[in-house]
Amino acid sequence: MAYLGEDIKKLGFGLMRLPANGGVIDVEQVKVMVDKFLEAGFTYFDTAWAYGGSEDAIRQALVERYPREKFQLATKNAAWINCKTREEAVAQFDTSLMQTGAGYFDFYLLHNLGESRTKFFDDYDMWSFVQEKKKEGLIKHIGFSFHSTPEELEEILNKHPEMEFVQLQINYGDWEYPAIQSRKCYEVARKHGKSVVIMEPVKGGMLANPPKSVQDIFKKANPEASCASWAIRFAADLDGIITVLSGMSNVEQMEDNLSYMKHFTKLSENEKKTLEEARKELSSIPLIPCTTCNYCAKVCPNEIGISGSFTAMNYLTLYGDKTAAKGQEGWLVGGHGKKSASECVKCGKCEEVCPQHIKIRDELEKVSAAL
C-alpha cells in the first residue's frame, strides 16, 4: 500500500552535527557534502530551529544553490526551549522561514515530544498552528519527533490523528533498550498508519565506532563493511519509512553513507542474525547512552559540560585509560568553557529534556568520582 514518503530515497542528511571550525559551521565543506548527496540522487534534508547555525548554513549551501523543487527540507519547532508564551513559540516558525530562505517546508515537526515537553505544545496549541500553516501552503506535511514511551506515543497519536508522520530514534542498539524502546515505538506508529522518519540510526556516532567486541562481530561477518553501514542498513530495512537521517559531519562520512545507500539492498537472514548478535553484545556493556545532542546544555543554569563528561566517562569504561579519559574531559569540558561534573547543583532541569532519559545527576556524580 502506498504511504507518505514512499518516493523518497532512504538516506536523509541530518544537519545537527555539521562540520565546524572553532564552533562556526564550515559552510564550504557543507556545500561539497550537499553536492555529493544530491548527485547521488538523495533529496531529504533535516534541520531544526534548535540546531544552532544549521538553518542558516543550509540556506547558503542548499537553498540558494539549487531549485527549490529538487529537495525536501524539514525543520522543527521546539516550544519547550525558553518559550514563555504562544507568540514566542509561534515566532520560531517565521525565524526558520527567514533563516532557511526556503519559502515553505516540506516537513515540519513539533520537536522532541514526550514527558514534560508535550505540555508546551498543548498549552500553546501548536497542533492547530501547524495545521493552519499547512492550509496556507507553508507546510506540506506535519508531524513530530518523539522521545518517550510507546504508551505515551499511543496517547498522542490517539489525540492527534491529523499528524502525518512521526520521527523516531531507531537503531539496533536501542531496538530493545528499555529506556528507548525503539521497536515498540515503531510498532505503535505503524499501527496508527503513520510513516516514520528514523533519527539516530548510528546513536550519535556511537555505532560507527562501537566497542571492539561489537566491531569484531561485524568484521567476522563482512571484513569490508563499516560499522556505520550495518547500523544504517538496519534502520533502512524497516517498512513504512520516509527516510533514515544520518547526521553526517564530514565528506568522508558522507562518502561512506552514500557507498552503501546509493544502491540499498535489504538485509539477508544472515545479516539480521549478525545484527542481533551485535545488539546483545552491546547491551552487555554499561555505557552512558548520551548522543551528544546537547539539549541539556540549553537548559542547564550552571553550564555544566554534561555531554563532554559522559564522552570521557564512556572512554574510561571502554578502554580503562584514565589519563586519556581525563585528557578528553579537560578538552571537551574545560576546553569548551564548561564547568566540571562536580559543580552540578542538582536542579534536575537537564533530566526533563534529555531524550535518552539519562539520570544525569547520578551519572555526573559517578564521573566526578571516577575522573
Residues that bind ligand SF4 (CB under 6 A): 290-296, 300, 302, 304, 306-307, 344-350, 354-356, 358, 360-361
Q: How far is the CB of 164 from ligand SF4 (least distance, A)?
A: 27
Q: Between 44 and 146, name the residue whose CB sits nearer to ligand SF4.
A: 146
Q: Between 44 and 295, name the residue whose CB sits nearer to ligand SF4.
A: 295
What is the C-alpha separation between 79 and 90, in angstroms, rounded? 8
Q: Between 17 and 134, name the residue whose CB sits nearer to ligand SF4.
A: 17
Q: How far is the CB of 302 from ligand SF4 (least distance, A)?
A: 4
Q: Between 131 and 368, name the residue whose CB sits nearer to ligand SF4.
A: 368
Q: Between 19 and 355, name the residue whose CB sits nearer to ligand SF4.
A: 355
Q: Between 257 and 340, name the residue whose CB sits nearer to ligand SF4.
A: 340
Identify the three-state secondary structure at position 167. strand
Contact 146, 113 (CB under 8 A): yes
Q: How far is the CB of 148 from ligand SF4 (least distance, A)?
A: 13
Q: How far is the CB of 104 from ligand SF4 (least distance, A)?
A: 30
Written as nine digits, the cell of 255 is: 562518502
**Residues 6+ positions from 15 with CB-CB distance below 8 Å:** 45, 46, 47, 48, 51, 54, 57, 58, 247
What is the C-alpha separation between 314 and 84, in angstroms, rounded? 36
Q: How far is the CB of 287 from ligand SF4 (least distance, A)?
A: 12
Q: How far is the CB of 301 from ligand SF4 (least distance, A)?
A: 6
Q: Between 181 and 195, name the residue whose CB sits nearer to ligand SF4.
A: 181
Contact 299, 349 (CB under 8 A): yes
**Residues 6+ positions from 2 with CB-CB distance below 8 Å:** none
Q: How far is the CB of 159 from ligand SF4 (least distance, A)?
A: 26
What is the C-alpha separation between 60 and 45, in angstroms, rounded? 13
Q: Which helix (H) or strand (E) holds 93?
A: helix 86-100
What is the C-alpha separation between 344 and 62, in angstroms, rounded? 40
**Which string of DSSP letters, residue by residue, matches 194-219?**
-EEEEE-TTGGGGGGS--HHHHHHHH
Q: Between 215 and 292, name the residue whose CB sits nearer to ligand SF4.
A: 292
Q: How far is the CB of 332 from ligand SF4 (least distance, A)?
A: 11
b/e code 241-259 from CB counts within 10 Å (16+ = b): bbbbbbbbbbeebbebbbe
Q: How far is the CB of 199 from ligand SF4 (least distance, A)?
A: 12
What is the C-alpha separation between 306 and 184, in angstroms, rounded? 29
Q: How far is the CB of 293 from ligand SF4 (least distance, A)?
A: 4
Written as nine digits, the cell of 36 is: 555529493
Q: Between 164 and 329, name the residue whose CB sits nearer to ligand SF4.
A: 329
Of 220, 233, 227, residue with least CA distance to 260: 233
Q: Which helix (H) or strand (E) holds 77?
A: strand 72-77
Contact 74, 164 (CB under 8 A): no
Q: Between 28 and 362, name the residue whose CB sits nearer to ligand SF4.
A: 362
